[in-house]
Chains A and B, each alone.
Chain A
Amino acid sequence: MNAYVGTPTSRVDGRAKVTGAAKYAGEFAADLLLHGFVVAATIPRGRIARLDTSKALKVKGVVDVLTHAHRPPLAEQDEAWKDEVAPEQGSPFRPLYDNSVKFNGQPIALVVAEDWETAKFAATRIRVEYEEEAFATDLESERTKAAKVDQPHKPRGDASAALTRAAVHHEADYVIPSEHHNPMELYATTAVWDGNGKLTVYDKTQGVQNVQKFLCSVFGRKPNEIRVISPYVGGAFGSGLRPQHQVVLATLGALALKRSVRVVLTRHQMYGLGYRPMTIEHVALGANRDGTLEAVMHEAIAVTSRFENFSRNDTGWGEQLYKSPNSRLSHKLVHLDVATPCDMRAPGAASGVCALECAMDELAVALKLDPIELRLRCYSDRDQSEDLPYTSKQLRACYARGAEAFGWSRRAPGPRSMRDGKELVGWGMATGVWEALQMPVAVRIVLTANGHAEVSCAASDIGTGTYTIVAQVAADALGLPIENISVRLADSSLPQAPVEGGSWMAASSAHAVLGAAEEIRQELVRRVKAMPASPLGGVDAPDIILVDGTVTKAGDRSRAVSIADIMRHSKLERIEKEKLNQFEEEKSYARNTHSAVFAEVKVDEQLGVIRVTRVVSAVAAGRILNTKTGRSQVMGSVVWGIGMALHEETLMDHRFGRIMNANIAEYHIPVNADVHDIDVIFVDEPDDRINRLGVKGLGEIGIVGVPAAIANAVYHATGKRIRRFPITLDKLLD
């Protein structure tokens, strides 16, 4: 019975959020709470020669100033600092560990005071002297130092030779700047001192158990001594996958002072966290005159810090998507004196597919082929890199449905061939692709005699709607109205879940709910059958379902017993079941989501002002659990894609190695005026191989392809190919 799954169910936490009842990490109260303010380094590399805290300590209300020279012990081994998302290679950054400065904005002291303003004021009284060291922060000037980190996939054939032979070829660099997440909620932690060395840590994070394990290992604590809770997250987008500075610092403060401590980063300080790394994406495509591909080459050169190798799959998408006998990929890193980058919506793909899909557009122009037609000529029903079939792939339908909704057939092919008064009109499109991952997640369901169920799991809801889909799936599986389901998430003491990321949480948590609900059903079946003169006596267990608060024979509602009656009869107050999800790990299929994105831009011919007037995104992502939250997720991603195309750029002055637009007045993201019609189409994609519900996840797919579709539309409007993002109007002048 699907009363809820697949419907546009409103967020179950919506009311709490709009009324302010939902509490965020920085809002939890504690007795005698202290406030920490972070002092950040102002050089990119060197040593702290002197850190004079005496004046700060004299400020009335200041309790202590923690520094590398004055703090409780911290773990010494790199392994202890490696959280579940840390890059394999490298030595994670450790706040207040020693006197070295590894990047600008690195925390170097924590002023702890009775109130926040005092801490903030006292922070200005701290004097720091550095021994500065030579540094480098500019990817482009250090490009030649790029070192190969991994080969995403084995080369296929001989791509260079094929490229030289190809009748038509296109080759270019696309430059994507570093970008910061800028979630609305500031990074915050309230570490509550429970006494006897025990802490309850309210943290803004995408993974409470990840943070809990991390804190235990960094501070040498037993698992029962630290509990991490993060009921609501005001956006994170990947920046909260790894434990961030403030949670280490708040915990450090609480342990040092044996009092509760809250640390909230400022917006400016959040630019000292991770970010989408700047990349130079070199793409080369060789094609035959008929539009079939002979060679795909993609090399990404990306920024990472000096101390960790962060890299993602930027380059693997083209050779997976498009049929080509030859391909070669490589990913290189340049180590710079900057913070380690981190995941940001569709990490790797957002950048890599942007370059790939711009290159495909350029190839289509060279071949005089319609951009969709080119993609259809290289369409592959198998995953090219692994030579596997997909569990499902309705990308063809995405092209068709998207094109139809957009009106693509009315597009005049030549650049500068469509206009609307003083504006040039451009229509562009691009393909999007992402993975459909699923991870081990456990869920506990407690069914009580009053027909109410509590569903709990350590997974986070970072605003994406996990509370809601968990409630929907549970309501359907237990045959209860959604009002009777309460969901508890994001407490490290709840059943296991990995960080919320990678678009895996919907499928993973939904199937854990199904598993636990099935155990509940079996228990109820056992109980109902044990009842004297049970109306379900003789009915096979698999034919018994849960519906409308009853246990019923499928297809015969006259043979039903209410859950309340069963519980009463069995003298049970509650039935509690916990279950780890199980997926058949079929290595013989590729699992991906796809999309086709269509964009219309209008560009003022004289002034270069760009307006994205329409976007159609047709997404194939298996079954959509909730068409309302799903649509919101994709719309938000499209807005972000507009930003990636036109606005977003973290600006660094490489003479100082400092980010110069570390605030959301100067770091531009789209505002309402930049966002017009966005049409989201979910293409039917039945998938009975991937998992029981046929769910793939929608977290990231919505952004992939959007920047390229817009860039391609700008080219179609103006005849100018901008390969350096963001596309600001100065690039269109001349």
Chain B
Amino acid sequence: MNNFQYSRASDVADAIRLLAADPSAKLIAGGTNLIDLMKENVERPSRLVDISRLPLRDIEETADGGLRIGALVPNSDLAYHPLIEQRYPLLASAILAGASAQLRNMASVGGNLMQRTRCAYFYDTATPCNKRSPGTGCSALDGLNRNHAILGTSRSCIATNPSDMSVALAALGALVHTAGTTGQRTIALTDFHRLPDDKPHVDTNLGSGEIITAIELPPHGFARNYSYLKVRDRLSYAFALVSVAAALELEGNAIGEARLALGGVAHKPWRNLDAEAALRGQAATPDHFGRAADLLLQGATARSQNGFKIELARRAVVRTLMQAANATPQSQAHKKIA
């Protein structure tokens, strides 16, 4: 770990100022990702700007009937908030599928969106990694890539985004509110994370000196027909091999609106509007779900060890859509798959 300066931001403007003044400064919220990376010398910030005491912990209703969630709301508080449980149970479920209770207590909404990949080479400074040290090469391409991306990859990087929460947020069409030196912005969650292309060291479209202040959920929460299914190497406390967030509007057996996002398969939560459009107006049947899965997985490619993820993702999509259609969402407490 390197030595660093520590400043406690007094308000959002102060945080932005401190960030802008020092390009290698980093925000720290819950610290559950950043500190680990600092211990491994992957992140070497010159300064930590502690935002954990800023008043960004509110969950408020918006004028149009959605919700605005402060960037520092702990993951646990969000998952167990009555409004989230009632109106956005998909989000609650995705959060509870992630990490452990202790980590969720510490982790913030903003930090969760910004958490970095779990690629083993990214964590090991003794190996080449374009994301950590641009230009050194991607060790995962021909190395241990069993849990790497199958969609949206590049020759520079095949890492995945590990967040569960983001997958549900992508499906729900959430917005990310930010503030920076040039003022405030709103970014659609699906545009927030990037694909690696030739700049895998840049995870998101957040500008330097910019801070996430809140996320916003649109009014429609799909509280009746939804499911979040996470498939992983042990039954809890492991990152997804594949995860699926599915949400449907059903009239009888006919699908109205459909939302579908994949986690663990790409550098960002993976959504494909074609797949969702293909479901609209169709009957909720395994066949139609299979077709949507095929569309969603169009262009999937595998490296040496992760080929299984394509078939796994296809099956998981169908299964999750069935769970949503049957209104038997996957429980995150009981690990038997519904």
Contact = CB atoms under 8 A, between A and B. Distances in A.
B23 interface: no
Interface in B169-222: none
B1 A607 contact: no
B3 to A, nearest CB: 5
A602 interface: yes
Contacts of B319: 606-607
B100 to A, nearest CB: 8
Contact of A674 (B231, B236, B308, B311): B236
Interface stretch (A20-28, A343-351, A483-491, A653-661): A653-661
A670 interface: yes
B327 interface: no
Interface in A1-50: 42
Interface stretch (B72-80, B121-129, B255-263): B121-129
Nearest to A610: B235
Chain A interface residue count: which class? 35 or more
B65 interface: no
A655 B336 CA distance: 39
Contacts of B312: 607-608, 729-730, 733
Given A117-B1, A124-B2, A653 B127 contact: yes
A172 B2 CA distance: 51
B246 to A, nearest CB: 15
Given A653-B143, A653-B144, A673 B234 contact: yes
**Among the interface residues A266, A647, A672, A730, which one has the most CB atoms of the partner chain B within 10 A?**
A730
Contact of B236 (A42, A422, A606, A672): A672
B120 interface: yes
Contacts of B139: 653, 655-656
A663 B36 CA distance: 11
B144 A660 contact: yes
Contacts, number: 94
B6 interface: no
25 contacts: A121-B3, A124-B1, A124-B2, A607-B337, A611-B235, A611-B335, A646-B234, A647-B233, A647-B234, A653-B120, A653-B143, A656-B139, A660-B121, A660-B124, A660-B143, A670-B234, A671-B234, A671-B236, A673-B234, A673-B237, A729-B231, A729-B241, A730-B146, A730-B241, A733-B311
A647 B146 CA distance: 14
A607 B318 CA distance: 11
A663 B237 CA distance: 14
Contact of B124 (A602, A658, A728, A733): A658
A734 B139 CA distance: 28
Interface in A485-503: none
B315 interface: yes
B39 to A, nearest CB: 8
Contact of A655 (B143, B236, B308, B311): B143
B54 interface: no
Contact of B308 (A611, A646, A668, A733): A733
Nearest to B103: A665
A42 B40 CA distance: 13
Contacts of A672: 236
Interface secondary structure of A, over-half rule: loop
Given A646-B234, A653-B139, A121 B336 contact: no
Given A602-B336, A673-B335, A660 B231 contact: no
A328 to B, nearest CB: 36
A124 B41 CA distance: 8
B316 interface: yes
A133 interface: no
A673 B1 contact: no
A261 B326 CA distance: 63
B311 A423 contact: no
A120 interface: yes
Contact of B2 (A121, A423, A647, A663): A121
Given A266-B39, A671-B236, A730-B312, 7 more contacts: A607-B312, A658-B127, A660-B121, A665-B118, A668-B233, A673-B236, A733-B308
Interface of B: 1-3, 39-41, 118, 120-121, 123-124, 126-127, 139, 142-144, 146, 231, 233-238, 241, 308, 311-312, 315-316, 318-319, 335-337
Contacts of B235: 609, 611, 671, 673-674
A442 B327 CA distance: 67
Nearest to B338: A422
Contact of A660 (B120, B308, B335): B120
B63 to A, nearest CB: 41
**Closest 3 pairs (CB-CB, A-B):** A673-B236, A42-B126, A673-B235
A668 B147 CA distance: 14
Nearest to B3: A121
Interface string A709-734: 00000000000000000001110011
Nearest to B142: A655
A604 B318 CA distance: 14
A730 B316 CA distance: 13
A676 B153 CA distance: 39
Contacts of A733: 308, 311-312, 315
Contacts of B124: 658, 660
A257 interface: no
A51 interface: no
B93 to A, nearest CB: 15
A443 B169 CA distance: 64
Contacts of A651: 120, 144
